[in-house]
A and B are shown apart, each in its own frame.
Chain A
Amino acid sequence: MKYMLIMRDTQEAFEASQKVDFEEIINAMGAYNESLAKAGVLAGVEGLAPASEGFVVDFASEPPIVTDGPYGETHELFNGFWILEVSSKEEAIEWASRAPLGPGSKLEVRRIPTAEEAFADYADNEYVKKSRPSDAS
């Protein structure tokens, strides 16, 4: 089963991390990612550019409003993610707990269901049917 580890850092943690030698962070993250890869569980990993250079598209009005900068007032910025292919929720917990993160950082961990599972109750939906062709002619 697949899990997504969503990294959320407070602005304080982000600023603190910028005071640390960046090479230390690279080494710690590199070692962690390598341990995931060597265990055969790493299905994807990306870090994101600073939220300040991102933008938000808000659908409150028509047309939607585009605002430069981070999402809302949030104190916990979304800074990167891992996708792990593991055999249990407990294994996901174990791996997540080993991430080289400190105070001010949190990992939100979410399971990624298979398409089959996610749309099990909507098998008759036109788009679900289209994505699962049943005629093998």
Chain B
Amino acid sequence: MSDLQRTIEAVWRIESARIVASLAKMTGDLGQAEDLAQEALVDALNQWPEASVPHNAAAWLTAVAKRKAIDGWRRKERLDQRYRAIAHALAESTQDDWQPIDDDVVRLVFTACHPVLSREVQVTLTLRVVAGLTTQEIARLLLLPVTTVQQRIVRAKKTLSAAQVPFETPEPNEWGARLSAVLGVVYLLFTEGYAATSGERWIRTELANEALRLGRVLAGLLPHEPEVHGLVALMELQASRFAARVAADGTPILLTNQNRAEWDHMQIQRGRAALQRADRLGRGRGNYVLQAAIAECHTIAPSVEETDWEQIVLLYETLGRLAPNPVVELNRAVAVSMASGPAAALTIVDQLSTQGELHSSHLLPSVRGELLAQLGRLDEARSELMRAASMAGNAREGEVLRAKAAAL
């Protein structure tokens, strides 16, 4: 890749969301806007080498793309009154008039995560138009073949166009659900990156960083939404433990054994600041804010023993009331065992067992085994841990559980 190409890519990375957003605002069609912007980018690669990168590259790209849109309309002979007016206004405008508007980028985010698109397509399109990544980069980060990513993007554009999805922000009555879809896309990217397996660890950290970057962009666009800050806080606080979380040989290190000096303290500060921003909005704590608050409890504790487990129990209770979920309940049980001992926790776990929602997960018998061991009921503990080991999807995790059972 030439230096110029790399420079253009860097400019694209910084400006593409705003360029595509302002084009989509004009054409009303996100797919077409993205195509136009890509064509302008090709022009830039061909034309800039002699003239070098113009001072305001984003305005240049936008102006070229807009001219292409006008030419396209003219070719299609769709110069009815309406288009003539737009075309005239655009032809008059100069590059200097270009003033990107945050609202357009907000529309871009919501359109890329529109409910007519499947979650995997939302994820791909968001990386493409909001993060400004190339098809190749997306394929590398999502561990997918390039053709799959291309197909998804084509499908996304067709679907949006066929459904005549307007380039608009959601109505107030759908705002909540639509916002949580957007946050869900970003958090999915983050957790995919966070759930690292050894071989792909490096790339996956990049994916998590990408999600963080998207989260921070959202926080800039929607500063009055506590859940956006909550998501950023959660990601920053979880990511602060990245380095300490896996040993050199790829073995995962449990929170208990992590070297807390190795946590990224600058990142912790950023996470806590984001959590404070969420709380300062004074609109209560949602799902992400609560999870961030739990992460904060772990992060600020000097050790596992000195962690404020009572507070964590309370936060899990609130989280469970907000959106009942067996995994949250199981986490609450673990926190209860730390705060009040294994007996109280076992009651919760046994209740969960009778509900049967987690029957296929190794987490339930693994926690139950731990609690039984702490209570000195060693035979039952052993059999629960062995059962958990046989259910674990990950070979390494299975080994750890078997070793635990054998050590009892």
Contacts and interface: CB of A to CB of B under 8 A. Distances in A.
Interface of A: 34, 37-44, 83, 85, 87-88, 90-91, 93-95, 114-116, 123, 130-137
Given A94-B7, A133-B257, A123 B14 contact: no
B10 A133 contact: no
A121 to B, nearest CB: 13
Contact of B216 (A40, A131, A133): A40
A37 to B, nearest CB: 6
Nearest to B211: A40
Contacts of B13: 87-88, 91
Given A40-B220, A115-B243, A136-B253, A88 B212 contact: no
B201 to A, nearest CB: 9
B94 to A, nearest CB: 21
Contacts of A115: 243, 262
B45 interface: no
A91 B213 CA distance: 14
A90 B216 contact: no
A95 B14 contact: yes
Given A40-B217, A116-B243, A130-B259, A91 B266 contact: no
B395 interface: no
Contact of B10 (A37, A91, A123): A91
Ordered nearest first, which 6 A-B pairs have the shortest CB separation? A38-B220, A40-B216, A90-B10, A40-B213, A91-B10, A134-B247
Contact of A134 (B209, B213, B248, B254): B248
| Highest count of chain A CB atoms <10 Å: which of B209, B214, B258 | B209
Given A40-B220, A91-B13, A136 B400 contact: yes
A115 B245 CA distance: 13
B251 interface: yes
B9 A90 contact: yes
Nearest to B17: A39
B188 interface: no
